[in-house]
Chains A and B, each alone.
Chain A
Amino acid sequence: MSTSTIKDFRNGVKPNWCPGCGDFSVQAAIQRSAANLNLSPEDLAVISGIGCSGRISGYIRSYGLHGIHGRALPIAQGVKMGNRDLTVVAAGGDGDGFAIGIGHTIHAMRRNMDITYIVMDNQIYGLTKGQTSPRSEDGFITPSTPEGSIEKALSPMEMAITSGASFVAQCFSADIKELTATIEAGIQHKGFSIINVYSPCVTYNKVNTYDWFKENLTKLSDIEGYDASNREMAMNTLMKHNSLVTGVVYQEMKPSYQELVKGYAKRPLAHMNLELQPKLFDELVNEFV
């Protein structure tokens, strides 16, 4: 077996992100964790949405599909259904996953397919030049909320836990060590993993900056006795810290969708023979006679 290195996951395309954008570290962390897990680039599929963040699939050397706004998750689930042997990572922005695509996000969590979802949460819309996002705090001033947003910010971690996600984590893009380890754990987790990454937009978000996060985030690993398998503790801790925590918030071992669905082949559908057995065909036809 060959051993992969981070270089195997680099394709030489220069990202069009602004210098200093948090998404650079997310890209590096995905590449590093894939190498650490010794995945081969061909066995990884990165499926992304639309936004600055959505460009990420084009910057990683692996199979990848850059789809449409908010739909990274259903596409990724379709890929996994078609080939259960692939490692499938879905990625996109907070607008992508929590505004236009929130329905998919919630249902993907309840479905618990064995894929990893990484949200680059910059609490703003980057690509469309700085409008408010469902992750923006109330009072947040943007071109679309000149008087300050009067809507409450959505809380992905609590939402993920109550929606049935089996691996719920949050990271800060500047802490690439924790981020890499968490992505590795997420990929290894059998079931749906969501990793919300605070990934500052240096161009449009002048409130939630690197410094702001450094001041406000608490590492769960620093909380004594924190137990990620304890749902109640997870919820209480989130509430206590206004969700500004990093690390694995909650993890539950339960069968993934792929394991539960009756009759679903253990081999990749993509490599199965498409032709029906003539005997089965006759039987199906005879049911209508």
Chain B
Amino acid sequence: MKKDLSWKVGGQQGEGIESTGEILSKTLNRLGFYLYGYRHFSSRIKGGHTNNKIRISTRKVQTVADDLDILLAFDQETIDLNYHELHEKGIIIADTKFKPVKPEDSTVELYPVPFTEIASKLGTSLMKNMVAIGATCAVMDLKIGDFSVVIQEIFGRKGGDMVGKNMEAIQEGYAYMQQSLGEKASALFLAKAENNHKRMFMIGNDAIALGALTAGVRFMPAYPITPASDIMEYLIKKLPRVGGTVIQTEDEIAAVTMAIGTNYAGARSFTASSGPGISLMMEAIGLSGMTETPLVVVDTQRGGPSTGLPTKQEQSDLMAIIYGNHGEIPKVVIAPSTAEEAFYDTIEAFNIADEYQCPVILLSDLQLSLAKQTVETFDFDKVHIRRGKLITSDIEQTEEKDYFKRYEVTEDGISPRVIPGVKGGIHHVTGVEHDETGRPNETAHNRKQQMDKRMRKLSNLTERFPNPITVNVPTKRTNLLLIGFNATRGAIEEAVQRLREEGLNVNHLQIRLIHPFPTAAIKPYIDGADHVLVVESNATGQLANIIKMNVGHVDKIQSMLKYDGDPFQPHYIYDASKELLEHVYINN
């Protein structure tokens, strides 16, 4: 019985690959399994190979699997491109229609099943996916009946006997496969999951969008870009229910400046984009910093530079996000690692933006944003909305016609903020250096005073931020400390667990608050480690450089880099860590 199993379905884009994975995973999620699905897709819309790899486990998993147990192929290309991921005992299930052949050098077993033929006999070849699901059930020893609820949800609305027909297709696929498997049947049987409570199954972008809605966002201006678009697409469906809306703007500059306008007006608004779009927004992010207008921008990193690898994983916007503005502004960068963190961090991002009156970047990456994972249901009781020094009702005017001191020099650097429409609060807001009332003022004294005021606001943020880092074990002495941010967390955690099981002294630290850098929280762990390996998806070791800059230990810190567009797999990190440890502790 397998406690951890990975399954991949592949074919031509637009062939229903996604829905096949969707039906299987939705059902398994409800049965109590933990899932992690990662789609490989290209920039082509129709045609072109696509696949959906789903990891199914009885325990929590938060990253892609090392290898593959079952490959479900709708064409030969799927076999040719993916068979190498199968381990020795893995199997290929393929439609007989394309006369599948197994690569010569491969030891894996091939099971041809007449997907299309069975489906056509039942009425339409479109149901070949259901036949394939049936075949999967037989291999994993799942009960067909478990699928009926999901099938009902999807096809019930279509009327007629669609539900019955689809269930029949699953049944036929199951029967056919069971017969061909015969003796060898039990090798890939899936252990039962302990189904104790309901969990969600969602992509990181869903979590961010729901987080924004929960944080009180009522308007989102945005310009489409992979892998951020799902956030706006989710919100356009939901915002009208709470009186809000989404505008698809003419470009990213319009999106971010519109969001600034709405925040200035006192409502919560934000935008989301990826690398190229974020570059366009930089000037406006500076405006938010200088005018002290709260702003949240989501950057879901993808492969760069330029249009780079638009559908692939990378974490290479880090330096640009932190240092990409001209001039100097207070700015916060938060990088959640899981969909669950993404939800709570999005809400925190809005609270920080309001409290500190500055731009907050919620950094994600393609893997976190698009991988579909099992998530504990969000806890509404943990949601708190904090708006800081915001004034929304009329104030008494001290002196007739005087301006409100919007940029009052205060000890904590944060000034009371009053929104347009409020009586007694008139003031001017400008990106030009200004005095306490917002009137342009270029004198050296005023410049220094206002600059210091703005820079002062974030001085207590690293202490106030709820979880600036996540550490695997609280011990600070370790032979090897692995550090990562965003979606690398799951892979590092698994690698660390395996190394620990072998008796090696390894720890893991994931950075959640990237800027301002939580040096005080991180430094003791780096001080106490013999070796530090920074795991990140880029070619230049951006996070490693930021750590060196803030913490020192330049000689101790090494990088483990990956920039081929694919996520880190646990074994990749395991192997490299092991090699490093063996080299140092065993050979010497």
B262 surroundings in chain A (CB, below 8 A) = 78-79, 81-82, 269
A67: Cβ under 8 A from any B Cβ? yes
A270 touches B284 (CB 8 A): no
Is A107 located at the chain interface by the 8 A CB criterion?
yes
* B122 CB within 8 Å of chain A: no
Cα–Cα distance between A17 and B392 once the two chains are bound (Å): 34
Q: How far is the CB of B31 from chain A (nearest CB, A)?
A: 12
Given A265-B243, A269-B218, also A42-B261 (CB < 8 A): no
CB–CB B426/A41 < 8 A: yes
List A contacts of B261 (CB < 8 A).
47, 65, 74-82
Docked-complex contact B240 and A262, CB < 8 angstroms: yes
Verify B244–A274 contact, CB threshold 8 A.
no
Interface 9-residue window, one of B265-273, B355-363, B451-459: B265-273
A274 touching B426, Cβ below 8 Å: no
Query: Which single residue of chain A is at the shortest CB-CB distance from B384?
Result: A275
Which of B215, B241, B264, B439 has the largest number of chain A CB atoms within 10 A? B264
A13 touching B439 by the CB < 8 A rule? yes
Among the listed B29, B265, B377, B387, which residue makes an inter-chain contact with A86, where contact means beta carbons less than 8 Å apart? B265
Q: Is A11 an interface residue (CB 8 A)?
A: yes
Contacts of B387 in A (CB 8 A): 274
Given contacts A66-B431, A68-B283, A74-B258, contact A82 B219 (CB under 8 A): yes
Cα A64 to Cα B263 with chains together (Å): 13
CB-CB nearest in chain A for B217: A274
CB of A103 within 8 A of CB of B257, answer no
Given the known inter-chain contacts A66-B429, A68-B257, A270-B266, please indicate yes or no for A263 contacting B239, CB distance below 8 A.
yes
* B439 in contact with A276 (CB, 8 Å): no
Main secondary structure, interface of B, reads: mixed
Given that A42-B426, A74-B257, A107-B254 are contacting pairs, would A81 and B247 also be in contact in the complex, using a CB cutoff of 8 Å?
yes
- B466 in the interface, Cβ–Cβ < 8 Å? no
Q: Mark A50-64, 1 if CB is under 8 A from B, else 0.
A: 000001011001111
- Bound together, the chains give a CA A76 to CA B387 distance in angstroms of 23
Listed stretches B178-186, B199-207, B502-510, B571-579; interface member: B199-207
Q: Please tell me if A83 contacts chain B, counting CB pairs below 8 Å.
A: yes
Is there an interface contact between B420 and A86, defined as CB atoms closer than 8 Å? yes
A231 close to chain B: CB less than 8 A: no
The chain A residue sitting closest to B259, CB to CB, is A78
Q: Determine which residue in A41, A65, A272, A278 has the highest number of CB atoms from chain B within 10 A of its CB, and name it.
A: A65
Q: Which residues of chain A are near B377, meaning CB under 8 Å?
A: 285, 289
- B29: chain A residues at CB < 8 Å are 289
* Contact status A71-B284, CB under 8 Å: yes
A261 close to chain B: CB less than 8 A: yes
Which of A42, A57, A107, A272 touches B428 (beta carbons < 8 Å)? Answer: A57
Closest B-chain residue to A84, C-beta based? B265
Contact A276 B213 (CB under 8 A): yes
Q: Which residues of A contact B258 (CB under 8 A)?
A: 74-75, 77-78, 81
Bound: A280/B423 CA distance, A: 34
Tell yes or no: A146 within 8 A of B by CB: no
CB–CB A269/B239 < 8 A: no
Give a binary string over A89-132; 1 marks a CB under 8 Å from any B CB, 0 the rest.
Answer: 00000000000000110110001000000000000000000000
CB pair A276–B242 under 8 Å, yes or no, is yes
- Nearest B-chain residue to A100, judged by Cβ: B253
Interface string of B418-431 (1 = CB under 8 A from A): 01111111111111
- Once A11-B403, A58-B440, A274-B385 are accepted as A-B contacts, the answer to whether A85 and B216 lie under 8 Å apart by CB is no
Complex Cα gap A54–B219 (Å) = 26
> Once the chains bind, are A263 and B241 in contact (CB under 8 Å)?
yes
Residues of B within 8 A of A263 (CB): 239-241, 243-245
Decide: A274 and B268 in contact? CB cutoff 8 A: yes
Contact residue among B214, B264, B291, B428 (Cβ-Cβ distance under 8 Å from A82): B264
A284 touches B430 (CB 8 A): no
Report B119-159 CB contacts with A as 1/0, cut-off 8 Å. Answer: 00000000000000000000000000000000000000000
By a CB distance below 8 angstroms, the chain B residues around A269 are 218-219, 243-244, 262, 265, 267
Q: B89: CB under 8 A from chain A?
A: no
Query: Does A268 make an interface contact (CB < 8 A)?
Result: yes
User: A74-B249, A107-B254, A289-B198 given as contacts; is B265 within 8 A of A284 (CB)?
Assistant: no
The chain A residue with its CB closest to the CB of B30 is A289
Residues A42 and B214 in contact in the complex (CB < 8 Å), given A264-B245, A276-B242: no
Looking at the assembled complex, report how far the CB atom of B343 sits from the nearest CB atom of chain A, in whole angstroms.
10
For residue A43, CB closer than 8 A to chain B, the reply is: yes
Contact B257 A78 (CB under 8 A): yes
Contacts of B255 in A (CB 8 A): 74
B428:A264 contact, CB within 8 angstroms:
no
List residues of B (369-399) whose CB comes within 8 Å of A's CBs.
375, 377-378, 380, 385, 387, 392
B residues near A240, Cβ cutoff 8 Å: none
Q: Does residue B303 face the partner (Cβ distance < 8 Å to A)?
A: no
Taking A75-B257, A80-B261, A285-B378 as given, write out 8 further A-B residue pairs in contact, using a Cβ cutoff of 8 Å, ordered by the A residue number: A61-B401, A78-B221, A81-B221, A86-B265, A271-B266, A272-B267, A276-B216, A276-B242
* A-B contacts, 14 listed (Cβ < 8 Å): A42-B420, A42-B422, A62-B426, A63-B426, A66-B430, A74-B254, A74-B257, A75-B261, A78-B269, A79-B420, A262-B240, A263-B245, A269-B243, A269-B267
Give me the interface of B with A, judged by CB distance under 8 Å.
Answer: 29-30, 198-202, 206, 210, 213-216, 218-219, 221, 238-245, 247, 249-251, 253-255, 257-269, 283-284, 286-287, 291, 375, 377-378, 380, 385, 387, 392, 401, 403, 419-432, 438-440
